[in-house]
Structure 1
Amino acid sequence: MYETTFELISSAFYFQNFSLHSRGQDYFLAAEHSPLMHFWSLSIEEQFYIGFPFIVLAFGLVGGILKIRSREFIFAGILIIFTISLGASLYYGVILGADVYYLSQVRFWELAAGGLLSFAPKVRFDHRVSEAISWFCISGLVACIFLIDASMAFPGAVAVAPVALAAGFIYFSDTQRSWTWRLAIRNAGFRSIGDWSYSIYLVHWPVIFFYLRVADAQLSAVEGIVLAAASIGLGAASYYLIEQPFRGRHHQTRTVVAPLGVAAIALPLLAAGAAYLPRLLNPENGMQTDHPGALVLTDGVAAPENVDFVPSLRLVRDDRADVYGDGCQVRPEGVVPIPCRYGPGRGGPVIALLGNSHAASFVPAFQELAERNQGTLIVHTKSACRFVLETARIGRRPYTECSQWVAAVIDTLREDAPDFVVVSYSSGGVAYGPGEDTDVLRERFARSARDTLAQLRDAGLRVIVLRNNPRMDNDAPQCLAGGGDCITPRVSALSGDDLAYQAATELGVPVVDMTDAFCTQTECPPVIGNVLVWRDSGHFTATFSRTLANELERRFALAAEQASD
């Protein structure tokens, strides 16, 4: 409820994009998000529309003072904004590889392109040249629909193509009032869609969001067409029954027609929401009986046959721990700890879980332990950051943000003094050292892994290492979608260089090894107990994580006893 309320506030006051960025929410993992997700782009638009007129006015005034033609000076000012924003988009998104999808400063250039277009001088070309360029731009825009996908860094360099093509079409078509202009712009149908577009945008995502959760199945082409038609219909109804009456001058029309319009739009969405509510209130949906998950391997529970596994292939990418939605999975550029606290905190043990996204995968299981034991779980996780004080290499640069964050977390733990500290992170890791031998750098990093555990222990903390989860040889959801068996041999799944596990063994630090909950003695299947284990090749689902609680509780109790000796 708190998160939904905050989304309502951030949407109403136009900072939804910054809210989503701070919480690390991935736009392309849409099933994880709320019906308000689409307000992020409206936030950027309104920020631009509120601030841009003042910038234009300022440049116009300065141009007047300097005796420069205002139009030319404003054009230069918009060009400066365009260049700075595009440069930031390319630098952060392409060179640094940072996730800046929602940030306004790397998006303003797209809107500023329209400003440049409006102030650009009109140059007349031969009508055949204009017509050819117009058709080229339209064809390019259609091609972008099929060529640009979620794997590409966006908005970065990839976004230049659709923006440039759209601007080119408007400029060259508008200059000559060409046949393409009459076909695409002056066409009555397209103009109606343009009139309704704002309303369509407002309703389309809630329609899709609720339908997908009620259907709980992959969206077919026919369903997509039906939902598009429904969104257009609701958008048109909103335009005529809500927008237009409120723009009119007749108070009576607004008082009578507007409520009917609100009802016409709200009732379908409320009906979809009501259908979704039971799923929201009971997300496990019979987990204990039909989907025992890891309990099949750890507790000998039988899984019923002819039951579809959960989460579905459509939803599996979004089936992540709460730390992502709660904003405490620190992003690669972050250095300040952002702990999340879970559990009732009524006198039970206080456990701090440290590591990267692999540790985060275990959060749902630890949350269950905190609930059972009236304890508290404190989570410190950071993307791509192994909990080692030595500066690691990420890409071709030093990952100083990771080592700084680790040092800050250790300082925080000294103050918080939890009952137990659990360290877990992905295998591998190499220290940063340009020109040095890779084996030397790997050994330096391993030595620092031991030193980091020793420093935690020397601080008076009871340290436990949680062995890294197995790793599949394939992207399990993608493999299952292709019809494969997708099984990975156990020996292959455990072949990674788990530095935390090795350091714990050398230092005598207790270890919790959950491998037997993921694998039989010979193989690691992608589905266990009617639960899809993996959401990619190395991260397991939150649904499966919750089924680990029994085994984790048993093994953690033994490790805690050893750590307390």
Structure 2
Amino acid sequence: MERIRYREDINGLRGIAVLAVLFFHLNLGILPGGYVGVDVFFVISGYLISSIIYREILNNRFSLTTFYERRAKRILPALFSTILLCSLMAYWQLFPIELVSFAKSVMASALFSANIYFYSSLGYFSPAADEIPLLHLWSLGIEEQFYILFPFLLMFLARKSFKVLVITIISCLVISLILSQWMLYSRPTAAFYLLPFRAFELLIGSLVAIGQLPRLSGKQLPFIVSATGFGGILYAIFLFNPQTRFPGFAALLPCIGTALVIWAGEQACPLLNKMISINPWRWVGNISYSLYLMHWPVIVFTKRFYPHTEHFIYPVIVITLSFILAYLNYTFIEQRFRHLRPQLNPQKVLAGSAALIFLVALTSSLTIYKHGFPDKRNKRLNKILAYVNYDYKPGYHYGTCFLDENQNPDQVDIADCLPQEPQNKSAILWGDSHAAHLYEAFKENLATKGYSTGLLSASACPPIIDMDVTARPYCRRFNEIAFANILKIKPKILILSAIWFADPHTMDMLEKTIQRLAKEKIQIVILGISPIYKANVPLLIANFLVMKIPMQPTKDMLDVEFLARTDKIMLKRFGGRNDIQYISIMDSFCSDYICPLMTKAEVPLYYDGAHFTAAGSKLVVKELSPLILGA
């Protein structure tokens, strides 16, 4: 297979991209849009792969077997060494119930479908991202699927006219882009994880590779094009943030920026391209694949050993370990296999790769079948761990009174979610999952006082009218329907509960919602934010049991900074007013941010890091109910 000209500037671009991703994942706040480094990788990948395939097809030297053999030698050794290292850590550190999920992600990664697996398995109530060691391999899944499909398209089209080839690629690019933008408003998770809605990024690179773009003459024009491209990439890295609707049209900025940098460096080498062609950028670019593979597992497993992520030493540990492991993986695995004897039969390489994939899948299947190899003798531990898979859906009345992110509220009958009693003896709980997790307890408690209680809730959708939520396209419409029903019923008590983000805009919109409700002479109660832990609480309790140390809740377990700031802002804005009642759950349920973890019967009060179990909600409502009813 022919080699294309080695581009040191592209290697440097890889270095910038992987560092952007690394610093974004460290959550330091300095690169809020660092996640676009992945999109830079996509464009580079599309460019390089298309250059190789297209040139060989034109020269009648392209072989699918040889292409996949080279991809296998390039991708699989470093990938499987990472999976092996993570597996050793997982079998040592993870509890059986976590090990099952890990094994499923290993199998999906080995079968080039990590993105599909995480799309189908992750949700609002799934483990936090920083608890999933192989989550970052979703991007590798997209690239691998592209590598499998795209050569066939090029083989077919390259034999047609050049015009047909370019028009087809542009058409596929535009369709993918439009679908990606559209899916942001209906299925944002699909837009993020799945190839059809990311393909346009790789195809932008392909277009630069085979589109026969005009030459950039002189010295100034290449510099201007390159500077414009870098400007787009840096703008996205520094000014995008996790709330940016992405990918969709927003992804065009870093992607076209990358394409411009690559294009500018094709004939000449502008100053900016030369600047990233030198060390340290080039060196980081060399190890960028291994650094990307290693950095996320390092973050995940380091947090289990050293959960104090706010300390300055934490990023130092992560960066140091990531670079050491990446260098070792690059030097002793990636390079050695990449330059495996050229005379080695491609069929043998592919057969060996298939055997390795089968072995990994078999080992993962055994782990799943054995339920993570639990210690059946430790019934106390297993009882706690069972709450990791706590079935919250019945208590939430999932699908009717609590809508997930993909449910269109116009297609749901909420009649059974509304209180059935007259106005003077009715109450409604309105909000997100932090309303839903209290519903059954409030329903039971208020029933003893003669109240009928209803629930109107949706995932990650605060009870605020006329406000859009980036990741929840149906939130605004849901709140319109909820608000209309509240005005129609006019319950005696309306309880607003959510995981509040006390930014000025959200607080202003909440104030406007309250002002519109206040005219209806409804008793309005705002419940403050409930405890949010840095880790899954059942796993936290399990760690205490395994280490055989006294179970003593501490402030360090909670995200105290976020909780204290949110409570302070909301108390100042809504506390002590006559038109509404603000109740701080943190003050009512906890003592100076030290909150109980489980009942005396060793039943966890939470099933993740932020949501109450039935036992937890009963304890909380027991404290809140007298404050609401004034008794």
Report the TM-score when normalising by structure 1. 0.53
Question: 1:372 maps to which residue?
Answer: none
Query: Which deviates more from structure 2 when the two are superposed, residues 105-114 or residues 120-129?
Result: 120-129
Q: Displacement, 1:106?
A: 1.6
Partner residue of 2:194 out of 78, 103, 128: 103
- Taking the aligned partners of 1:74 and 1:31, their CA distance within structure 2 comes to 40
After superposition, the C-alpha distances for 1:278-335 in whole angstroms (9 at most, x for unaligned) are xxx9999xx9xxxxxxxxxxxxxxxxxxxxxxxxxxxxxxx998769xx999633247
Question: 1:133 maps to which residue?
Answer: 225
Q: How many correspondences in the alignment?
A: 381
Change (3 A) 1:226 1:481: farther
Decide whether the 8 Å contact of 1:331 with 1:383 is kept in 2: yes
Partner residue of 1:6 out of 84, 104, 125: 104
- Taking the aligned partners of 1:37 and 1:478, their CA distance within structure 2 comes to 27
Question: 2:288 maps to which residue?
Answer: 197
The within-5 A match list for 1:289-368 is 331-334=404-407, 357-358=433-434, 361=437
Q: Displacement, 1:112?
A: 0.9
Change (3 A) 1:429 1:208: closer
Decide whether the 8 Å contact of 1:207 with 1:227 is kept in 2: yes
After superposition, the C-alpha distances for 1:309-362 in whole angstroms (9 at most, x for unaligned) are xxxxxxxxxx998769xx99963324799xxxxxxxxxxxxxxxx995235545
Unaligned runs of 5+ in 2: 1-96, 350-373, 413-429, 443-455, 494-523, 533-558, 598-605, 626-631
The within-5 A match list for 1:503-514 is none
SS in 2 for 1:50: helix
* Amino acid aligned to 1:165: G
- Taking the aligned partners of 1:166 and 1:236, their CA distance within structure 2 comes to 25
Question: 1:215 maps to which residue?
Answer: 306
Question: 1:470 maps to which residue?
Answer: 527
* Amino acid aligned to 1:157: F
Question: 1:389 maps to which residue?
Answer: none
Question: 1:383 maps to which residue?
Answer: 459
Change (3 A) 1:356 1:107: same
Does residue 529 (structure 1) correspond to residue 573 (structure 2)? The answer is no
SS in 1 for 2:192: coil
After superposition, the C-alpha distances for 1:443-472 in whole angstroms (9 at most, x for unaligned) are 34769x9xxxxxxxxxxxxxxxxx998245
Does residue 165 (structure 1) correspond to residue 230 (structure 2)? The answer is no
Change (3 A) 1:126 1:47: same
Say which structure is richer in helix. Answer: 2
- Taking the aligned partners of 2:579 and 2:127, their CA distance within structure 1 comes to 28
Q: Displacement, 1:115?
A: 0.3
Q: Displacement, 1:363?
A: 10
Report the TM-score when normalising by structure 2. 0.48
* Amino acid aligned to 1:148: F
After superposition, the C-alpha distances for 1:519-548 in whole angstroms (9 at most, x for unaligned) are 54xxx879553469xxxxxxx994575587
- Taking the aligned partners of 1:23 and 1:493, their CA distance within structure 2 comes to 44
Decide whether the 8 Å contact of 2:434 with 2:611 is kept in 1: no
Partner residue of 2:148 out of 40, 46, 50: 50
* Amino acid aligned to 1:529: I
Does residue 443 (structure 1) correspond to residue 508 (structure 2)? The answer is no
* Amino acid aligned to 1:8: V
Question: 2:208 maps to which residue?
Answer: 117
Unaligned runs of 5+ in 1: 64-68, 255-276, 288-318, 338-353, 367-379, 387-391, 403-427, 433-437, 450-466, 499-514, 533-539, 560-565
Q: Displacement, 1:76?
A: 1.8
SS in 1 for 2:193: coil
What RMSD over aligned residues (CA atoms) do the two structures have, in Å?
A: 5.6
SS in 2 for 1:101: helix
Does residue 549 (structure 1) correspond to residue 622 (structure 2)? The answer is no
Does residue 232 (structure 1) correspond to residue 323 (structure 2)? The answer is yes
Change (3 A) 1:193 1:49: same
Change (3 A) 1:81 1:551: closer
- Taking the aligned partners of 2:578 and 2:109, their CA distance within structure 1 comes to 47
After superposition, the C-alpha distances for 1:148-202 in whole angstroms (9 at most, x for unaligned) are 11121111232211111111111112222333333323x3543433332221111
Does residue 91 (structure 1) correspond to residue 135 (structure 2)? The answer is no
Q: Which has the higher contact order (CA 8 A, sep 6+)?
A: 2
After superposition, the C-alpha distances for 1:65-87 in whole angstroms (9 at most, x for unaligned) are xxxx2x33222221111101111
After superposition, the C-alpha distances for 1:368-395 in whole angstroms (9 at most, x for unaligned) are xxxxxxxxxxxx9852689xxxxx9996
Question: 1:423 maps to which residue?
Answer: none
Q: Displacement, 1:51?
A: 0.9
Decide whether the 8 Å contact of 2:531 with 2:586 is kept in 1: no
